[in-house]
Each structure stands twice: as C-alpha cells, then as structure tokens.
Amino acid sequence: MRRARHAVVLAALLAALGPLHAAAQTPDPAPVRSDPDVVLDPLQPDFTLAALPTTLRMPAGRWAFRVTHRFTRNLASGSFGDHASSLFGLDGGAQIGLEVRIGVAAGTQLGIHRTSDRAIQLFVQQNLLSERRDAPFGADVLVTLEGDDNLSEHHQTAIGAVLSKYLGRRAAVYAEPLVVVNANPLAAGDAHTLMLGLGARVRAGASRYLFAEVVPRLAGHRPAAHQFTVGFESRAGGHLFQLNAGNGWGTTLGQLARGGIPDQWFLGFNISRKFF
C-alpha cells in the first residue's frame, strides 16, 4: 500500500512538473529588433553636409539639433599676420544658424532653421528609397518655406529631390535638383532659381570624414558665384563637429540660391547632436 501510495504521489508530481519542464525547454522568443533608423549609418552620420540635406532618415519620435556658424572675415585678402592677429576671422562677426528637426513618422521629418540675419526656413522631408533597406540608391523629396524678418517678408519656397548613392563602404555622393520659387528679393528680371546641389562625404577613419559640396545655379536668378564648401568632420557618439571653409554664408536653400561671394574665403563650423 505504501509503495502504491508513493507511486501515485510521484505520478502526480511528474504530471504537475511536466508543463514547467516543457516551458523551461522552450527557447525564449527572439528579441524584437529596434528601429533600424536609430542605428548609426557610418556613411551618413548627419542630416546635412554643410548646407545641403542628405537622405539620412530620422527615427519617428526622435529629434536632432544643429548649430551653423559662418565667420564673415574674408580670408582671401590681407596678410597672414593680419589674419593671425584676428585668429583667422574668429574675432570678427558671424552668421549663426540654429536648427531643430524631428521625426513625425517613419521616413518623415520636419524642422525649422533660423539664421542670425532673421531668416527662417521651415522644411519637411520624406524618404522614398533607402539603401539601408536594399534600394539601389537613396531618394527623398523636400519642400521648404522661407522668409526674411522672422518669416514675415520675402517668402520663398524650395521644392526638389535629394538623391544619394553609397560607394562601397567609404563614401556617399549626392545630387539634388532643386527649384527655389521667388528667389529674387528684388523681383527684377528672373524671379526663380533652378539649381543642382552636388556633394560627397568620404570616410577618413572610423569616425572622421572629409566632405565637399557645391551648388551651381543652372537657370533663372543666378547672382554672384556658385556657393561651395569643403571641410573636415569628427564624430563622437551622437555629436558631429564640422570645420569648413567656403565662399559664402548660406545655410538655407534660399540663401544658396543667392550664391556665394566671388574670390572670397570664409571659415565656419557646424555642431550637430542627435538625440537617439
């Protein structure tokens, strides 16, 4: 009887432990993959080059901040001693820009960029294709609304595309056909500008880059010179510091349409921070 009773108890214990043992043998479900837009893209560490946008996607619900700074001292005139005494333009004036952009949905970002001459640019950018999602190239559409004196006068609209292509694991190149409507503040002669932004960013190390961009105006309002910028960048986590030099101060698309200054060079820098 005692043996039979023990057998019944043992059988009951085994029956109770069976589901627990089966659960213990069942592997844990695979972890849910995080949003791939949050993962660093080593070929596109930022949402812009110097002034031109890139096709880097902003994660939904996240945001980023950028400061642009263009010194107004012309480094193409004067002696080396003169420039050294003013710390190569750092003692002079500057045009400063502040920018905030947020991801409102997957592949959709919007933002505001204000420069210290009181110009404001509002923008929305929609990603259509991404090489990180197995597309042959990257493609975005971009629309802006810009105005002087805190968006109260001389309203302009830019419409265009941002196209990107990775070159192996070392570089990304860009072509950006853009139309700036009402680019001429005087409205004398051509009022609009058709331009083609061209740029490239090349990895010079694990977290360092060289870049260049130029914005030739192809038709319409084309004063002064085509603005170009070259420079060096260093990334640390979500921060990117850029030191640049070029022939203009423009950081909005309307300012790029007005061009740079012929035969002049200006130092500048950008500091950006991604909060994701």
Q: What is the CATH number of the domain that holds 74?
A: 2.40.160.40
Q: So what's the pLDDT on residue 33?
A: 53
Residue-wise pLDDT tens for the chain (276 aa)? 545 554 544 455 445 445 444 444 555 554 445 789 999 999 999 999 999 999 999 999 999 999 999 999 898 876 666 666 666 666 678 999 999 999 999 999 999 999 999 999 999 999 999 999 999 999 999 999 999 999 999 999 999 999 999 999 999 999 999 999 999 987 767 899 999 999 999 999 999 999 999 999 999 999 999 999 999 999 999 999 999 999 999 999 999 999 999 999 999 999 999 999
Strand partners, 173: 165, 200
Q: What is the pLDDT of residue 140?
A: 98
pTM of the entire structure? 0.84
> What pLDDT does 175 receive?
98
For residue 261, tell me if it sits in a domain. yes
Using CA atoms, how far apart are residues 35 and 45, in angstroms rounded to an integer?
A: 16
* pLDDT score of 82: 62
Residue 34: per-residue pLDDT: 75
Report yes or no on 113 lying in a domain: yes
Burial class (CB in 10 A: 0-12, 13-18, 19+), 160: buried
Q: What is the DSSP letter of 141?
A: E
Helices (H) and strands (E) in the chain, counts: 4, 13
Segments forming the whole domain that contains residue 92: 45-274
Answer yes or no: is 160 within a domain.
Answer: yes
Rounded Cα–Cα distance for residues 137 and 231 (Å): 24
Q: Is residue 30 part of a domain?
A: no
Rounded-to-integer distance, Cα 55 and Cα 125, Å: 9
Q: Is residue 32 part of a domain?
A: no
Residues linked to residue 148 through DSSP beta bridges, in sequence order: 153
Q: What is the pLDDT of residue 30?
A: 47
Query: Coil, helix or strand for 249?
Result: coil
Tell me, yes or no, whether 26 lies in a domain. no
Q: What Å distances lie between residue 83 and 72, 76, 172, CA to CA?
A: 12, 10, 34
38 falls within a domain = no
Number of domains in the chain: 1
What is the reported pLDDT for 20? 43
- Is 35 inside a domain boundary? no
